[in-house]
Amino acid sequence: GTAVLVLSGMVILWGLRLSGYLGIRIWHMGRDYRFDGVREHFWRFAKFWFFQGLAVWLIMLPVILWFKNDVGSRFSETTSGVVSLGVGIWALGLVIEAVADQQKFAFKKAGRARWTDVGLWRLSRHPNYFGELLCWWGVFLFTAGQLAGLDLALGLVGPLSITGVLVFLTGIPPLEASADAKWGADPAYQAYKRATPVLVPWPRKGSWT
């Protein structure tokens, strides 16, 4: 049915956008620098991909449960409002993430040796992650109206997992630490940090050079 096509399309489009962006970035850079010091060690590399697979499985739980319960064949019109809201939030997140990634890529490609502070990056220090979170919370909302009980609780693990990973674990914290190590002594960077929210895009407070 239509619901199956829409949910499948949401996940597929998210994956195509991400893989396309990463492919273009690696083609321009020559390699993915995130794997430096990892790809040379088999078990470290294997551990990385194991936890990547586990994270994807957790994040996809609401989708997995939705299809497991064959919701698409008995989709209820009574949840159309929540479904539309979910699609809208997902679409907004995909646009924000795509625009933020493109702006940062263009900024770095131009050879600017400083933190990205153009476009959406003037409103958030990590707008790409904000877009990513919107995508998966939107997916959860799409499925939530047709899940119940334990399935609903397990489905909630999906968006909570990606939120926890990006906000508290391997997303924002190491990037903030790396930026502090590079530019922490620069008064302009400190002004940027004070004026710019960490995650949720918001008009800046004050200015910086």
Comparing CA positions, the residue from 39, 45, 138 lying closest to residue 84 is 138
Contact assessment for residue 129 and residue 172, using Cβ atoms and an 8 Å cutoff: yes
Comparing CA positions, the residue from 179, 156, 177, 171 lying closest to residue 58 is 156
Write down the pLDDT at residue 81: 82
Distance between CA atoms of 176 and 179, rounded to whole angstroms? 5
Distance between CA atoms of 147 and 8, rounded to whole angstroms? 17
Position 50 confidence tier, pLDDT thresholds 50, 70, 90: confident
User: pTM to 2 decimals?
Assistant: 0.87
Position 33 confidence tier, pLDDT thresholds 50, 70, 90: low
Provide Rg for the chain, Cα atoms: 19
Distance between CA atoms of 3 and 84, rounded to whole angstroms? 11
Give the pLDDT confidence of 55-65 residue by residue, as tens digits: 899 999 999 99
State the chain's mean pLDDT as an integer.
Answer: 87
Distance between CA atoms of 120 and 164, rounded to whole angstroms? 22
The SS3 call for residue 126 is: coil
* Other C-beta atoms lying within 10 Å of the C-beta of residue 84: 12
What would the DSSP string read from start to end of 148-187?
-HHHHHHHHHHHHHHHHHHHHSSSHHHHHHHHHHHHTT-H
Cβ neighbours for 117, distance < 8 A, ≥ 6 positions apart: 192, 196, 208
Distance between CA atoms of 130 and 189, rounded to whole angstroms? 21
Contacts by 72-81 with C-beta closer than 8 Å and gap 24+? 72/1, 72/3, 72/4, 72/7, 73/1, 75/1, 75/2, 75/3, 75/146, 76/145, 76/146, 78/145, 79/145, 79/146
pLDDT at 66 over 90: yes
Most confident of 20-34, 73-87, 187-201: 187-201
